[in-house]
């Protein structure tokens, strides 16, 4: 009878009896099933003569195949921190899903006498000396790694290096919206902005930035570790101000893939949504509460306010003032005493209202009295000057003085005697 070694040499088997028993058990099960199907076939009589030998060869074939397969798988217990571990170039691989990629593993020259190889989930590899080249025509796996290893024949110690592989896919679409809200917002209320990023991988490498106009509000990242494409929603709470009316909110999603990734990181932006913010009126000017004005001057009171929706104005004014008045500014060209008193401006819109009050104090115009005083004083001066001149004239009218002497500043004229 032929021995097992004569039919198929098994010099490559391990010296592990438990593993051999396991392989034989598996091969018996598979071969028995295959042989049972053969006996039920119409031509099973052709194989009845070789029943024993066929079953034996079937077992041998399966044992050898499983042994080789398990021999390749035992790299999972290798040492990744050994001194002369294999080196990958590049040390980290970033590839877009569906694209081609490649990497090279180099094993040390002193390790060339040992057993070395590459463990991979897809693609093909070639060995040239101590260099193993791995190529993939189309990346179709989301979570995959490639391992390069060598085994010391003497000590059976294994040394390995794993190539980290990041398979990415840019988002299909990025959109922004308000959570459970449509229409205008109200100043001071809280709202939630949502940025939805659809079908992106890997989401743990994704960063989302919210913007108000050109100002970045915050940047968020996901805690999700899924490797396959997912849809992720990021939220931001905002409290609108009146200055935010008309601004545009938007977000952008960017895959941060590191220096091994593409030169320009994959970036997708959302549409822009314009915010409408409602708020009650606010006074634009700061006129004093009490307005002092002179009679006859121009009076102007301004309670112009800003609000959304646009506010309306209602005035309550003294009876002598013109009415009704429904604009933000009230003007009286020439104010009189009857125009004095309290002026009340009510400003309102659908959100709220404010009330502004002015106390107008009209003073008398003293300019005419000043003019009258100046003219009166001048007339009195002329009058008293005239009285003084007349008095001096009457007092000095006797002697050698005449009227002309009065105007010659009282210069005395002496008569000169004439000698005959």
pLDDT per position as a tens digit, 67-100: 444 344 444 467 777 878 899 999 999 999 999 9
- The whole-number pLDDT of residue 322 equals 67
108 with 189, same domain: the answer is no
Higher pLDDT, 413 or 125: 125
- C-alpha–C-alpha distance, residues 123 and 146, integer Å: 10
**pLDDT band, residue 45 (cuts 50/70/90):** very low
With respect to residue 47, please indicate whether it lies within any of the assigned structural domains: no
Higher pLDDT, 375 or 142: 142
Higher pLDDT, 50 or 353: 353
- The whole-number pLDDT of residue 13 equals 32
Please check the confidence at residue 338 and state whether its pLDDT lies above 80: yes
- C-alpha–C-alpha distance, residues 107 and 344, integer Å: 91
Percent of the chain with pLDDT over 90: 50
347 with 260, same domain: the answer is no
301 within 8 A of 330, measured Cβ to Cβ: yes
Please check the confidence at residue 203 and state whether its pLDDT lies above 80: yes
125 with 216, same domain: the answer is no
194 with 132, same domain: the answer is no
Per-residue tokens: 62: 């399966």
**pLDDT band, residue 37 (cuts 50/70/90):** very low
Please check the confidence at residue 193 and state whether its pLDDT lies above 80: yes
With respect to residue 257, please indicate whether it lies within any of the assigned structural domains: yes
**pLDDT band, residue 260 (cuts 50/70/90):** very high
Residues pairing with 88 in the sheet: 105
Q: Give the domain range for residue 107.
A: 87-167
Per-residue tokens: 90: 């590049």
Q: Over range 294-300, report the average pLDDT.
A: 91
With respect to residue 378, please indicate whether it lies within any of the assigned structural domains: no
Domain count, the chain: 3
**Mean per-residue pLDDT of the chain:** 79
With respect to residue 264, please indicate whether it lies within any of the assigned structural domains: yes
Please check the confidence at residue 32 and state whether its pLDDT lies above 70: no
Residue-wise pLDDT tens digits, 150-159: 887 777 888 8
Please check the confidence at residue 115 and state whether its pLDDT lies above 60: yes
Q: Over range 166-194, report the average pLDDT.
A: 96
Closest to 307 (Cα-Cα) out of 246, 350, 249, 355: 350
With respect to residue 355, please indicate whether it lies within any of the assigned structural domains: yes
Higher pLDDT, 31 or 233: 233
15: left (phi over 0), alpha (psi -120 to 50) or beta: alpha
Residue-wise pLDDT tens digits, 398-415: 544 454 554 454 455 555
Higher pLDDT, 318 or 54: 318
From 130, 152, 167, the end of a domain falls on 167
Helix (H) or strand (E) holding 329: strand 329-332
302 with 219, same domain: the answer is no
With respect to residue 17, please indicate whether it lies within any of the assigned structural domains: no
Q: Over range 226-245, report the average pLDDT.
A: 96
Residue 237 C-alpha from the chain's centroid: 12
**pLDDT band, residue 417 (cuts 50/70/90):** low
Residue keyed to tokens 């000698």: 419
- The whole-number pLDDT of residue 262 equals 93
Per-residue tokens: 188: 């001071």
- C-alpha–C-alpha distance, residues 75 and 82, integer Å: 14
Q: In sequence order, what are the residues at sequence separation of 6 or more whose Cβ sits closer than 8 angstroms to the Cβ of residue 96?
A: 139, 167, 168, 169
| C-alpha gyration radius of the chain | 54
Ranges 175-179, 341-345, 396-400, most confident: 175-179
From 275, 308, 343, the end of a domain falls on 275
180 with 258, same domain: the answer is yes
142 with 229, same domain: the answer is no
Please check the confidence at residue 132 and state whether its pLDDT lies above 50: yes
- The whole-number pLDDT of residue 113 equals 64
162 with 177, same domain: the answer is no
CATH for 335? 2.60.40.10
| DSSP 8-state code for residue 63 | H
110 within 8 A of 280, measured Cβ to Cβ: no
Q: In sequence order, what are the residues at sequence separation of 6 or more whose Cβ sits closer than 8 angstroms to the Cβ of residue 63?
A: 10, 23, 24, 27
Closest to 114 (Cα-Cα) out of 64, 73, 157, 78: 157
Listed range (27-31, 109-113, 369-373) with the worst mean pLDDT? 27-31
With respect to residue 196, please indicate whether it lies within any of the assigned structural domains: yes
With respect to residue 407, please indicate whether it lies within any of the assigned structural domains: no
From 313, 347, 363, the end of a domain falls on 363
- The whole-number pLDDT of residue 224 equals 93
Per-residue tokens: 24: 């034989």
């Amino acid at each position: 009878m032929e021995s097992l070694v004569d039919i198929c040499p098994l010099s490559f088997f391990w010296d592990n009896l438990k593993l051999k028993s396991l392989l034989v058990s598996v091969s018996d099960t598979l071969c028995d099933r295959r042989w049972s199907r053969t006996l039920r076939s119409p031509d099973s009589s052709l194989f009845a003569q070789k029943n024993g030998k066929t079953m034996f060869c079937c077992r041998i074939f399966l044992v050898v195949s499983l042994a080789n397969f398990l021999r390749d798988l035992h790299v999972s217990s290798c040492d990744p921190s050994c001194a002369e571990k294999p080196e990958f170039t590049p040390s980290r691989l970033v590839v877009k899903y569906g694209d081609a990629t490649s990497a090279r593993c180099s094993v040390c020259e002193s390790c060339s006498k040992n057993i070395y190889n590459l463990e991979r989930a897809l693609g093909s590899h070639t060995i040239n000396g101590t260099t193993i080249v791995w190529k993939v025509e189309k990346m179709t796996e989301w979570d995959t790694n490639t391992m390069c290893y060598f085994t010391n024949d003497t000590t059976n110690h294994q040394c390995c290096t794993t190539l980290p592989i990041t398979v990415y896919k840019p988002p299909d679409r990025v959109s922004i919206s308000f959570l459970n809200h449509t229409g205008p917002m109200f100043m001071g209320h809280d709202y939630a902005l949502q940025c939805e990023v659809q079908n992106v991988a890997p989401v743990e490498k994704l960063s989302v930035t919210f913007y108000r106009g050109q100002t970045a509000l915050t940047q968020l990242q996901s805690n999700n570790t899924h490797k396959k494409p997912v849809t992720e929603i990021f939220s931001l709470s905002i409290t609108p101000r009146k200055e935010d009316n008309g601004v545009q909110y938007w977000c952008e999603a960017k895959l941060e893939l590191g220096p091994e990734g593409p030169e320009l990181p994959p970036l997708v932006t959302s549409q822009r949504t314009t915010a409408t913010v409602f708020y009650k009126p606010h006074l634009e000017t700061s006129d004093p509460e009490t307005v002092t004005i002179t009679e006859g001057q121009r009076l102007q009171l301004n309670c112009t306010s800003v609000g959304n929706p646009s506010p309306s104005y209602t005035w309550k004014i003294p009876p002598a003032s013109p009415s009704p008045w429904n604009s933000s500014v009230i003007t009286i060209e020439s104010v009189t005493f009857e125009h004095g008193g309290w002026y009340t401006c009510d400003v309102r819109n659908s959100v709220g209202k404010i009330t502004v009050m002015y106390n107008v104090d009209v003073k008398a115009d003293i300019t005419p009295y000043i003019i009258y005083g100046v003219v009166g004083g001048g007339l009195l001066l002329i009058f008293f000057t005239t009285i003084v001149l007349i008095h001096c004239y009457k007092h000095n009218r006797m002697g050698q003085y005449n009227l002309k002497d009065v105007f010659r500043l009282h210069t005395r004229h002496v008569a000169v005697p004439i000698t005959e």
